[in-house]
Structures are given as structure tokens and as C-alpha cells.
Amino acid sequence: MEAKTAVNVGQLSRKPELKPKRKIKWKNVLTYAAFVGPALLFFVVIQIIPFLMGIYYSFTSWNGISAAVDWVGLENYKKIFTNDAKFFNSFWFTTRFMFAAVVISNLLGFGLALLLNGALKTRNILRTVFFMPNVIGGLLLGFIWQFIFVKGFASVGKYTDIGIFKLAWLGDEATAFWGIVIVFAWQTAGYMMVIYIAALQGVDQSLVEAARIDGASNWNVLTKIMMPLILPAFTICFFLTISMAFKIFDINISLTNGGPFNSTESVAINIYREAFQYNNFGLGTAKAVLFFVIVAVFTTVQVVMTKKKEVEA
């Protein structure tokens, strides 16, 4: 008993052994810094700093040229909500355009993905053809379609006497709206198609075959099996099309320039004109900050809602 006590006392009297500290491997740190550092530096310089400066200028009455920057507080934001009907008209147009463009772009993209996910011999060529409009710049695309709407449709209507080709597509408020939607959907559908094809190719075909053996129709296979399995692709495509539709600028300005009578003026064009044409840089940046908050809230709600659907599925 005394021996055991002596052993225990001896063990207690020993100092606990300290684990050696892990040495920082500077080689790994420098490697990570070499790869991540330049991208992080450019992101801070090009994105973060201008964003913070924009927030600051939104509280000023700076004209974008002079050295004098006058602090006005919340006056720019008050002016937007009390005395700027054009901004809310452009926001209403952009919102309507966003809903129409998102629905049509995703329907076209998903339809093309279903078609070209099959065993077609020319599917690779067709995928390239449908994706190519996304490579063309928005300004060039707008001018091309402006020629099609003004000259091409008029010529087709003259020789075929079909009413739809005789419409003043860019000269009327309703048709100009749908003209921009058509061009936007034509440009983005191929990009959405690529994402949907990648998701469809990841579906376990044994599940589809088992459903068909059990007598499920093509519609049931699509809606009950395939679509729930590719919900993450819908989340990504909805997010991309919503953000792109809200921020539309190049197609809009080259196709209609906000006309006729500012009926197709997007929020981005309204902000551009306020800051760089009317030299109200402070008010323009206030509109940009407000627009950023609205888009961020809208896209966040969309992602949260679709993510919940993924979990339920």
C-alpha cells in the first residue's frame, strides 16, 4: 500500500510534458500568398475600395468633376423617395423585365438541356450554336438585333404580309419591352442550358429506369424524379438570371436607349445618366447603393427559398 502511494506521489510530482509547438511552414504561407495574394489585392482595389467610396459619395453633393465635396447627409436618399418619379418608373420597368426574362430564359435553357441531353448525333454542334450568343458582347448584340427588328422584320412583313413582322418593335412601349426580353433570353438561354445539362448528366439513370419499369410517364419522371434531383441547378440559374436581368445595361442602351419616351429605361441606365450625363454624382451613387441593397435582398430571399426546397426534396 505504501509502495503504491509512493508511486502515485511520484507521478503527481512530475511536470506534465508539453507538446512541441507546430512550426509555421513559411514555404506554404508564401505559396498560398503567391496564388491568393494577387487576386485578393485586385478584388480589394477594384471592388471593395470603390464600393466603400461610393457609399461615402452617396452622402455628398459632388458633381464628379470639382475638388469640392459637400457633405449633405441623407438628402440624396430623401430626394430619391420624394422627388424622383423617373427612378421609380425605371425600377418598375426593371422589375417587370426581370420576372419575364427569368421565366423565359430558364424555360428555354431547361428545354434545350432536355433536348440536347438525349442521344442526338448533332448535340455537340447544337450545344455550341446555342451557347454562342452568350459569347457576343451585349452592345454588339443590341445593335445586331436593332437591325433585325427595324430592317429585317420590316422586310419579312412586306413580302409575307404577316402582322407580327409589321409591328414597330422598338417604337412602341409594349413591343419594345418584349423586344428586350427576347434579346436577353436569346443571349442567356445557352448559358443556362450548359448548367442544366451538367445537372441532368449527374442524375442516377437507375432511378429513371426503375420509374419507367414501374409505369411512370415521361411527365412524372421529369417532375417527380429529375427536377427534384437537379434543384441546385435551378438555384444557380435563378440567381444568375435574376442578378443579370436586374443589372441589364448594355443590351438596353444599344437596343432602345431607354426609349420610346423613357418607357424602357432600366435602373442601370437611370443611374448612369444621373451620374455621368447630369453630373449629379452624389445622387447617382445614392441610387446605386439603394439599388444594390434591393438586388441583394431579392437574390438572398430567392436563394434561401430555393435552398429550402432542395432540403425538402
- Nearest Cα neighbor of 288 from 82, 71, 59, 99 is 59
Q: What pLDDT, on the 0 to 100 scale, is given for residue 213?
A: 87
pLDDT of residue 311: 55
DSSP the chain: -HHHHHHHHHHHHSPPPPPPPPPP-HHHHHHHHHHHHHHHHHHIIIIIHHHHHHHHHTTB---SSSS---B-TTHHHHHHHHS-HHHHHHHHHHHHHHHHHHHHHHHHHHHHHHHHTS--TTHHHHHHHHHGGGTS-HHHHHHHHHHIIIIIHHHHHHHH--GGGGS-TTTSHHHHHHHHHHHHHHHHHHHHHHHHHHHHHTS-HHHHHHHHHTT--HHHIIIIIIHHHTHHHHHHHHHHHHHHHHT--HHHHHHTTT-STTTT--HHHHHHIIIIIS--HHHHHHHHHHHHHHHHHHHHHHHHHHHHHHHH-
What share of the chain has pLDDT > 70, as a percent? Answer: 91
Comparison of pLDDT for 310 and 276, the residue scoring more: 276
d(CA 307, CA 11): 56
Q: What is the pTM of this model?
A: 0.84
pLDDT digits (tens, 9 = 90+) for 110-143: 999 999 987 778 888 988 899 999 888 888 888 9
The number of beta carbons lying within 10 Å of the beta carbon of residue 311 is 7
The mean per-residue pLDDT over the stretch 221-233 comes to 89
Q: Kindly indicate the confidence band of residue 22, based on its pLDDT and cuts at 50, 70 and 90.
A: low
Cell of 260: 420610346
Q: Return the higher-pLDDT residue of 148 and 6.
A: 148
What are residue 71's phi and psi, to 5 degrees? -80, 125
Which structural domains are found in the chain, ordered by start? 83-312 (1.10.3720.10)
Q: Give tens-digit pLDDT for 28-45.
A: 888 888 888 899 999 999
